[in-house]
Structures are given as structure tokens and as C-alpha cells.
Amino acid sequence: MKPLNLKIAGLNSFRAEQEIQFDVLSDLGVFGIFGPTGSGKSSILDAMTLALYGTVVRAKRGIQGIINHAENKLAVSFTFALGAGPRRIYRVERGYKTRDHISVKNTHSRLVELTEGQEIVVAERDGDVTNYINNLLGLTPEDFMRAVVLPQGKFSEFLKMDGAGRRQMLERIFSLEKYGRGLVEKLNSRYETVNGQFIKLSGELQGLGDASRESLKQAETLLGQAVESEKAAAAHQEETGRHCEEGRRIFELQQELAGKEQELLNHRRQKEEFDRLTWQVQLADKASQVFADISARKGLAGQLDEVEKACVGIETHLQELETRTRDFEKALIAAKTGRQEREPKLIERKAQLEAAQDTEREAARLEEEIAREKGKMDELEANLANTGGAIGVTEERIARLAAEVAALENELAANTVDRTYRLQVQAAVQLAGSLEREIQAAAAMQQKHAQRKNRLTSARTDLCQAAAEEADLQRAADELRTRELAAGEQCPWQEENLVRQEVRLAELKAKLNELTANESKIAGETAAVDALTLELSGLGEQRDQLQSAYQDGKEKQELLAGQIAALLAKDHRRLAAQLAAGLREGQPCPVCGSIAHPVPALVSPEEGAGGEKELLEQEAEQLKINLEQTELMLRRHEAGVVAVQTRLVAAQKAVSDGRRQIAAELDTLAGEWDVPAGFLTVESAGSLAAAQAVALERAKAAFSAWRNERKQAAERLQELEQKFSRAKLAIAGLQASIAAAEEELKREQDNLSELERRVAGLSQELLRLLTALCSGEFIEPEELGGKAGMLAAQVADKDRRAEELRQKAGQNREDSRQFQDRLQELSNGKARINAALAGVQAKRQVLVNSREQKREELRRITQGMAARVLFEEVNAEIAGLRTVEQNAAEQYGEAEAARMNVEQNLTRRQAERSTLQEQLCRFAERITGKLKRLGFEQEEAAETAYIEDCDLMAMRQRMDAYTEQEHRLAAERDQFAAKLGDKRISMEEWKRLQSQAQEALAQKEQAMERRVAAENSCRDLVNRHNRWQEIENEMTGLTERLRHLETLRTLTRGNKLVEFMAQEQMEIVLTSASERLKQLTNHRYAIEIASDGSFLVRDDANGGFKRFVGTLSGGETFQTSLALALALSSQIQLRGQYPLEFFFLDEGFGSLDPEALEVVMSTLERLPNENMTIGVISHVTGLQQRMPRRLIVGPAEPAGHGSTVTIEIA
């Protein structure tokens, strides 16, 4: 990866957009980034990571507080190239805006590939861009920063670090933690998890009880028996259901047939009402032929009355309108005369007042102008006074500034520090700082040495305690295993026996429930027998009463038949007499055709009445209907008696059979429970079953308690084993820690001696320099650092004061110049104000004179009143005159029009009255003729007989409905009789069928419950058997996994694996770093690693002499650190897909002397041969002058522009 271009705007100290062209800076392989502290040099690296990964590594939460405080948005754009041959060029862009004072929000993100002048958008959303960059480079933000930058203060940290610290650093850099503590913790966690699963499965296996194949076969046999029993009960229930359904159909048809016969009988009783309706409809048909004419004549008569009344009213209204019209005509003439006399004078006054209004407006305008001019005069006078005061103040300020400048220049000369003295003080401060750091390092090392001794002592104590705890845990676990083995052999019950007892108890409960139900059923049947006996007795009495009533009716029917026959004979004689009365001699008889009538029939007066025959016939017809109903009721009672008798016999048989069945079932249970036959009742059997259920529950509770105790014991054993494992791990860790601590104590003692020697040398050099600066003054050794700091503070105070004096003097000179300019400006302004004031005063006087003239003219016209008010009064008076005349004209016109309309209306009404009178005469003649033709004597008779069409239609519908219902009821009765045929069923037989169907259904449900219970028991046993097999298989696999995990724990104990991998990685890095160091030092130096893990530098130019890195000079330390940093960077880059072809060195050169700085520059100039671009970030002036390519970062100004960048090419 090679950087090409970077654009920054709004990030940290940057404000306006700044562009960095890396392709120009990196053409020679090395370049420098220079600028004062805080100018924004490190922000360039932040901009790269923000563009690539959307995060700043050193910022809180990645992006908080990264926008410049004077901006509200941020934008970065980074262009880079990938690959070796034909490179692929990408540009990544991101933008942010502030959400509050700290938080920021992404506004846009985009990754673009640049190919042949075209831009192809690869990703646009923030997360998509970051994911694409991660996949493209193969590096996280942290890995990227480690690979491309060696930050401030880290040049020699890795070089001088001890073995343990270096291994930890390599663990972090190469993410080896997952192979160290992370892997050990994962193995321990996995071992504990697998071991816990093994113990849990063991407990679960014991808790499953007897899940053998034999128990499963026994449960399957019981299930098969329950299934067969259910099938038999279902077949029986289906058969009884069919019989019950057929009985229900016959019974319902019987009920329907009886109901239809009753409906037909009730319908025939409405015959008299039907005849009456027929007569009313016929009479209404005749009345409807004349009713329309009668209604029309009445309507015309009413219209004629209304027209006559209207004519009288119109004539009265017409006389009133004529009087009103004459009054309005007089008022119109008077209004017109008044307007013609007054209007000319008012128009002339109106013209005068219009002119007066114009004069008023002109006077008001002049008054406003006078007020404005007065305001201008006041403002100019105030400005004139203010300008005079400002001129005096400015002259005083100029004199005071001149005196201050002279005093500042004198004080500046006294605070100027000599250059030679300044350099000596700076050298003393650097020596004091080095001495203070060495002293602090020695004190820290001593403190660390003492702490390490204490930790070693504490670790040895912890080791002893951990060993004792391990032994206690081992003893406790062995004791618990022994107790569990003994408890496992003392199981109070076998679970399969409990299951069988539970199944048998469920069957007994079902059987007892069935017996209880049968006993209740028998009690009900017994009550039914008693009720049927009473019902049969009542039916017998009702049957006797019906037979007696039927016999009386038959006798009365015979008597009525004789009376009707006698009346019929009388009627025949009466008809014969009437025929004889009409016979004439010589004319043929209408019956026999004979022309001779020798003995004509005679009739007595009492034989002439024919109404008695009709009454008797009606009574005979009613008696016939009553006899039919009585006969029908008698047949029903006969059927009811038969049905009750059948039900009584069936109920008595059911009671007897039920009692025998209950006795048989109780004898069976008595044999099972060892009770003498005949002594067991349903209640006592229920008590025995309840006692057996209580005993079973107690046994189940005891077994459950035993199983829970075994489970808890297994859990306790698992917990002890886990504690034992953790104790063993703790002992191993403590042993490793003690060994490492002893090695570190020895190494720290050597380092402490070396530090004490360096402190003594630095103290002597600093004492010599301070004695010279203080003119031979005696200085205590403990006061060396304070004395150097005091001298440096004095120099800094003088420099700071001198700079303040220079700035203040320059500011005073600038202020004096500005006050001179201000004085001249104020003088010119005063002259301009005087001239303007004179002009305003003259203009105001002219306006005052013009205003007085206008006021005088107004007083002459309006006598002091407002012209506008007078003008409105004149206008109102003129409008009033015209309105009065107009209103009078309108009233006259309206009255005249109304009078003419009323005259026309009266003429129309008179013509309408004549027409109506003629129509009434024609209707009266036509109605009289129709009444005579239809047989009505008067109009009232026709009106009474008339029926409205809707009522007439309803009556005809009632007649049709009566006839239709007669036919429908007869047809339905015949249909039900045909369906029923000869089949009949009694109420008792129907109830018996229902009872049998219910009993069969109850038996089926009980069989189903027994089958479901057997299925549940079998299913539970199958599940437990399957689980038993699964547990066996799982425990075999877990045993193998525990063996492998124990082997892995042994291999990774004491962090051995991580140390091995870190050592291997260290050797790879050391080999690469040694080769780089040889190239940087012309094959003089190489790097090796000592037995204690520290670095050694081999000097091949001096016979391969090996030196500790602590003895290297500043330049040699830089060369060695740089070689290691580049080697580490190369190893980190191996994670990515593309190598990173650039590297930044951030600071690290401020404390180098000129000779060491020369070594640094020569070293950096050799690096381009390795195809690597190096960017050196520094503020050292000597290093800046040596760099041929420089990026100058200018600092931001407070409340001004932000940081700036400039490329310099030497």
C-alpha cells in the first residue's frame, strides 16, 4: 500500500481544507514532517485512520471530540495505491458533523476505485466502507497503527524491555493472548463443562429408574389390551347409536303427524269468517264503480267554496290598495319639491369644504417637516458637543501612550539575556533532567525490587495454603464418592414396580367410578319404575274417561242423524208443495213431464221453516269433529299405555341386571383384596382404594426424595472436583510465578547497580557546570536539580517578560498612530456639523412661515371646525334628500304594481268559479244514474260499502291464504302419514333407546381413558428407555473428551505454549531486525538474544564482542530500535493482503547530540534501498535542514485560521 494524496478539513487543529501530496514527498524515499509542538503533525496520521477505518485510535470512542472547536463539520479524503505491478488506485472519503459539544455523526462515506480516468463507487455507507477496507487490507485499525508508526517515546522501549515484558508485548502485538491465558481458561472451562455434563448425565441415569426392555414390553402389552377394549366399546356404541337414531326418526314423525292433524282441525273452524269476507269483497267491488265519481264531486264542491271565499277576500284587498296608492303619490310629490329647493346650496358648500380639506393636509405636512428639522437640529448640536469632548480625550491618550513607550524600552533593555549564558543554563537543565530520571528510575527499581520480594514471600505462603486445600478437597471428594456408592445400593423402591402399581390403581379408580355410576344409575332406574307405575295408573283412568266421552258422542251423533233425516223429509214435502202450487192443467210437470196433475202435494204451515235443518247439520258436523279428536286422543292414550308398560318392564330388568353386575364386580375386588365375598360394598371399596393410593403416594415421595438426594450428592461431587481442578491450576501457576520472580530479582539487582553508577557520573558533571554558572558558589549535591531549575526559570522569566514588553511597546505605538488618525477625523467632523446646523435652521424658519399662512386660510372657511367633519355633514344631508325622494318613488311604484296584480287575480278567480259550477252539475247527473244501476239507494250506502284497494287486496290475500293453507295442511298430513306407514314407537321405548345409547357412549369414553392412560405410561417408558440409551452413548463420548482435555491442560500448564510461540516469533523478528541492522551499520552490528531473554548487540568490527543494549550510544540505540521497529512492522503487515510501503517515525530526536543526529540522518538515507518510504515527524531544526523533502505544518492561531501544510523541496 502506497499513500498518494491526503485532504484534511476540520480535524483537530485543522480548519480549512489542507492537501498533502505524498507522491511528491516520497519520490526520494524519505521525507520529514516538521512543525512546533501542537501544530497538528500527529493529526495527519489520525486523518489516515479516520479515512480508512472511520475511527481515531487515540480519541474517546473512536470519534468523540475530533472536530475543530470553531467548526461544525469535518471531511477527510485519502488516495492510495495497492499491488506491485499494475497498481489499483482507491480513494476513500468520509464526512462528519457535530451532534453536540463532543459527539459527532457521520454524514457521508464513500470508497471509489480510480481506473483509466473513471471513478467506480465500490461502497457508500459508513459500515460498508469500513468492512471493505478491512477485507482489502486485512488489518484492523490497531494493527495498521502498529505497522506504520513508531510513536513518541517508543523508540527504545522494546529494545530495553526485560524478557517478561517483551513477551507480553509480543502477545499483544501478535494477539497471542488467545494461545496463553485465554487458551488455558478456555481449556479449563471446557474441561469443567464436559466434566459437569458427565456428572449430570450420571445423576440423570440413576434418576431414570428401571427403563429396561422387559418393562417396555409389559407396558406395550397393557396398551394393546386397552386398545382392544376401546375398539369393542366403540363398536357397541355405534350399534346402539343406529337403533337410537331410527327410534328418534319414528318418534319425531309421530309428533309431526299429530301436530298437522290438530292444525287442520283448527283451520276448518275459520269457515264462517271466510264466507263473511267473500260477501264484503263482492259488495266493495260494486261500490268501487261509483266511489271515484262521488269523491270527485266532493272535491269540486270544496274547490268551489274555496274560490268563492277567495273572491270576497280579493275584492276587500283591492279597495285597501287603491287608498294606499293615492297616499304614496302625495308623499312622492312633496319629497321631490323639497330636494329641488335645498340641493343647489348644499353642492356649493361642498366644493368650499373640499378645498379646505386640501389646505388642512398641506398644513399637517408642513408641521411634520418642521418637527423633522427640529430633530435634525437637536441631533447636530448633540454630535457637536460629543465631538468636542472626544477631541480632548484623544489628545490626552496620545500623550500618555508616548510616555509608556519610553518606559517599556528602558525595561526591555534590562531583561535581555546573553546568548552564551542561555546555552550554559540549557545544558545544565538537560543534565539535571537526565539525573532526575535516573534517580527516579533507581528509586522505582528499588521499590519494584522490594515489592517483588514481598510478592515472592506471599506466593510461597499461597503455595503452601493451596497444597493444603488441594489435599482437603481430595479427601472430601473420596468420602463423598464412598457414601454415594453405599447410598446407591439402598434404593427403597424399584421405579417399574411403582409404575405398575400406579397403572393398577388408575384401573381400580376407573372401575370404582364405573360401579358408583352404575349404582347411581340403578337408583335412578328404581325411581323411574315407581314413576312409570304411577303414570300407568293415571293413563288407565284417562283412557276410561275418553272411552266414556266417545260413547256419549256416538249416541248423540245417531240422535242428530235421525233429527236431520226428519227435517230432510219435511223439506222434501215443502218443495213438493211449492212445485204443486205452480202446476197448471195442461202444462207439463218440470220433474216428470206429465200434463195431468190429479193429486197435488199439500204442506202445513209449520213445515215451511228450513232454518232448523242447517243448525242441526252444523251441530252434527261439529260433533263429528269432536268425535274424531276424541278417537285420536284415545288412540294416543292406548299407545302411551303400551309404551309405559314396555318401559316399566325394561326398567325393572335394568335394575335387576345392574345389581347383579355390581355384586359380581365387588366379589372380584374382594378376591383381589382378600375380603370375604359379599362383605364388600362400593363405599368400602372406595375407602380401600383411597388407602392404597395414599400408600402409593408415600412410596413415590420416598423414591423421589432418594433420587433428589442422589442428584444433590452428584452436584456436590461435581463442585468438589471443580474446586480440586482449580486448586491444581492455582498451584501450577504459583510455582511458575515463584520461579519467574526469583529470576527477575536477580536481573533487577544487576540493573540497579548499573543505575547507581550512572547517577554518580551525572551528578559530578552537573556540579561542575552549576559552579561555573554561579561564580564559584558552593552547592549541596541534593540542591543540584533545584539550582538548575531555578536558573532556567530565571532565564525563562526574563525571556517571557522581554517578549511581553516588546509586544506591549509595539501595541502602544500602533495605538498612538490610530489615535492621531482619530483626532484628525474628529476635527474634520466638527466643521461639517457646524455647516449642516446652519442649513437646517434656515430651512425650518421657511417652513414655519408657510404653515401660519395655511392656518389663517382655514380659519376663514371653517371658523375653527374640522373641514372633514363639515364636508361629511353636507354629503349626508344631500344623500338624505335624495334617499327620501327615492324611497317615496319606490313605495308608490310598489303600491301601484300590487293593485294591478290584485285586479288580475280577481278576474282569474271569477272565471274559475263559473267553470267549477258547471262541472258540479254534470257529476251530480252521472252519480245518480250509477247508483240506480248498481242497486244503491243513496251515496252513503256506496261509501259505506267501499273498501280501499290496499285493504281489499289484504282481504283477498287472506281468502287465498285460507284456501291455500287448507290444501297445504291436508297434503302435509298425508305426506307424514305416508312416511310413517305402519311404524309406531312409544315414549317408554324411545327413552330406553336413549338410555342405552348414553350407556354405550360412557363405556366408550371410559375405555378411551384407560387406553390414553396406558399410552401415556408406555410413551413415558419409551422416552426414558431412549434417554437411557442416549445417556450411555453420550457418557462414552464425554469420557474420551475428558481424556483429551486433560492431556491439553498438561501441555498448556504454566503458560508454556505462549512462551514457546512468543520465543518463536521473537526469533523471527530478531533475524529480520539483525539483517536490517547490518545493512544500516555496514555489517558492523547484529542483534542476538541472551539466555535471560534480554537483547545483546554483537560488534563484528571488534571481533564479535557482545554488549548490553544499555551501553549503546544515542545513535546506536536509534539504529537498533529502528531495525527492530521495521522488523516488527513487517511481521504485523504479514496479516494483510498487501505490504505497507511506508512507515512513520514520530519524534524521538530532541535529546540527540549533533554526532548522534548525524548517525540518524545517515541511517535514514540508507532506508530507500529497502523499497520503503519513511516519514520522520520531528521539530528538531538540524534534522529539518538535512531533509530534502519537507512537509511544514504551521500551527493554528487562536480565533484565527487552523493548521496549514506546505511542501518544501531542497
Question: Position 612: which residue type?
Answer: E
Q: What residues contact 164, with CB distance under 8 A and at least 6 apart?
A: 740, 744, 1093
User: Residue 108 above 60 pLDDT?
Assistant: yes
Lowest mean pLDDT of 782-796, 994-1008, 1085-1099, 1148-1162, name the range: 1148-1162
E strand or H helix at 1087: strand 1085-1089
Lowest mean pLDDT of 628-632, 756-760, 1087-1091, 1141-1145, name the range: 628-632
Mean pLDDT of 37-44: 84
Torsion angle, alpha carbons of 34, 39, 40, 42, to 10: 50
Count Cβ atoms within 10 A of the Cβ of residue 366 and give its class: 0-12 exposed, 13-18 middle, 19 or more buried.
buried
- Cβ–Cβ < 8 Å for 972, 190: no
Give domain status of residue 748, yes or no.
no
Mean pLDDT of 992-1013: 82
pLDDT in tens, 931-990: 777 777 777 777 777 788 788 788 878 778 878 888 888 888 788 788 777 777 778 887
pLDDT-based confidence at residue 8 (cuts at 50, 70, 90): very high
Evaluate if pTM is beyond 0.85: no
Lowest mean pLDDT of 353-367, 555-569, 838-852, name the range: 555-569
Give domain status of residue 57, yes or no.
yes
Mean pLDDT of 604-617: 58
CA distances for 545 relative to 637, 915, 1062, angstroms = 11, 82, 122
- Interatomic CA distance for residues 637 and 1113, integer angstroms: 137
Q: Collapsing DSSP states into helix, strand and coil, what is residue 457?
A: helix
DSSP annotation string for 55-93 = --TTSGGGTTT-B-TT-SEEEEEEEEEE-SSS-EEEEEE
- Cβ–Cβ < 8 Å for 75, 7: yes
pLDDT confidence of residue 1148: 55
pLDDT confidence of residue 598: 59
User: Residue 170 above 90 pLDDT?
Assistant: no
Count Cβ atoms within 10 A of the Cβ of residue 936 and give its class: 0-12 exposed, 13-18 middle, 19 or more buried.
buried
Mean pLDDT of 844-862: 77
Percent of the chain with pLDDT over 90: 5
pLDDT in tens, 120-156: 999 998 999 999 988 888 777 877 777 677 654 555 5
Q: Which three cell numbers stand for residue 1122?
A: 529502528
Mean pLDDT of 682-691: 70
User: Residue 90 above 90 pLDDT?
Assistant: yes
Percent of the chain with pLDDT over 70: 79
Q: What residues contact 680, with CB distance under 8 A and at least 6 apart?
A: 666, 667, 669, 670, 673
Q: Which residue has the higher pLDDT, 610 or 304?
A: 304
Mean pLDDT of 153-171: 61
Mean pLDDT of 732-756: 73
Mean pLDDT of 345-356: 77
User: Residue 93 above 90 pLDDT?
Assistant: yes
Q: Collapsing DSSP states into helix, strand and coil, what is residue 602?
A: coil
pLDDT confidence of residue 88: 87
User: Residue 1170 above 60 pLDDT?
Assistant: no
pLDDT in tens, 312-347: 888 888 888 888 888 887 888 888 887 777 777 777
CA distances for 538 relative to 545, 712, 771, 987, angstroms = 11, 77, 149, 15
pLDDT confidence of residue 603: 47
Domain count, the chain: 1
Q: Which three cell numbers stand for residue 176?
A: 497471542
User: Residue 454 above 70 pLDDT?
Assistant: yes
User: Residue 97 above 80 pLDDT?
Assistant: yes
Lowest mean pLDDT of 124-133, 648-657, 787-796, name the range: 648-657
CATH number at residue 103: 3.40.50.300
Count Cβ atoms within 10 A of the Cβ of residue 333 and give its class: 0-12 exposed, 13-18 middle, 19 or more buried.
exposed
User: Residue 602 above 60 pLDDT?
Assistant: no
Give domain status of residue 1136, yes or no.
yes
pLDDT confidence of residue 389: 81
User: Residue 206 above 60 pLDDT?
Assistant: yes
pLDDT confidence of residue 1147: 54
Give domain status of residue 1115, yes or no.
yes
pLDDT confidence of residue 75: 95
Domain that holds residue 1197: 2-162+1094-1209
Give domain status of residue 231, yes or no.
no
Question: Position 1157: which residue type?
Answer: L
User: Residue 644 above 70 pLDDT?
Assistant: no
pLDDT-based confidence at residue 112 (cuts at 50, 70, 90): very high
Residue of 794, 793, 786 whose CA lies nearest to 766: 786
Lowest mean pLDDT of 167-176, 655-664, 890-899, name the range: 167-176
Per-range mean pLDDT, top range of 49-58, 337-346, 864-873: 49-58
User: Residue 279 above 60 pLDDT?
Assistant: yes
User: Residue 407 above 80 pLDDT?
Assistant: yes
pLDDT confidence of residue 539: 66
pLDDT in tens, 576-586: 777 777 776 66
- Interatomic CA distance for residues 1176 and 1192, integer angstroms: 12
Q: Collapsing DSSP states into helix, strand and coil, what is residue 35?
A: coil
Q: Which residue has the higher pLDDT, 824 or 700?
A: 824
Q: Please report how many Cα atoms fall inside a 13 Å half-sphere around the Cα of residue 701, on the Cβ side.
A: 6
- Cβ–Cβ < 8 Å for 1141, 4: no
User: Residue 430 above 80 pLDDT?
Assistant: no
pLDDT confidence of residue 606: 46
Give domain status of residue 798, yes or no.
no
- Cβ–Cβ < 8 Å for 359, 809: no
pLDDT confidence of residue 371: 84
User: Residue 9 above 50 pLDDT?
Assistant: yes
User: Residue 1054 above 70 pLDDT?
Assistant: no
Q: Residue 37: how many CB atoms within 10 A of its CB?
A: 9
55 alpha carbon, distance to own chain's centre: 31
pLDDT confidence of residue 978: 81
Buried b (16+ CB within 10 A) or exposed e, 1129-1160: bbbbbeebebbbbbbbbbbbbeebeeebbebb
Mean pLDDT of 239-266: 80
Give domain status of residue 858, yes or no.
no
Query: What residues are paired with 123 via a beta bridge?
Result: 111
Buried b (16+ CB within 10 A) or exposed e, 842-873: eebeebeeebeebeeebeebbeeeebeebbee
Q: Collapsing DSSP states into helix, strand and coil, what is residue 139?
A: coil
Give domain status of residue 1106, yes or no.
yes
Tell the residue number behind the cell numbers 489516515, with chain if given. Answer: 48
Mean pLDDT of 704-711: 72
pLDDT confidence of residue 453: 78
pLDDT confidence of residue 736: 67
